[in-house]
Amino acid sequence: MIAFVSGPVAALAPTTAVIEVGGIGMAVQCTPHTLADLRVGKEARLATSLVVREDSLTLYGFANDDERQVFELLQTASGVGPRLAQAMLATHSPDALRLAVSTGDEKALTAVSGIGKKGAQKLLLELKDRLGEPAGAHIGQQGIGTPHTAGWRDQLQAALIGLGYASREADEAVNAVAPQAEAAAAEGTAPPVPQLLRAALQTLNRAR
Contact status, residue 139 vs residue 96, Cβ threshold 8 Å: yes
Residue 208, pLDDT score: 55
> What b/e string do you get for 54-64 counting C-beta neighbours within 10 Å, with b at 16 or more?
eeeeebbbbbe
pTM over 0.85: no
Low-confidence stretches of the chain (pLDDT beneath 70): 135-150, 188-189, 206-208
Q: Which domains does the chain have, with CATH numbers?
A: 4-62 (2.40.50.140), 66-142 (1.10.150.20), 152-207 (1.10.8)
Residue 120, pLDDT score: 92
Residue 114, pLDDT score: 87
Residue 137, pLDDT score: 40
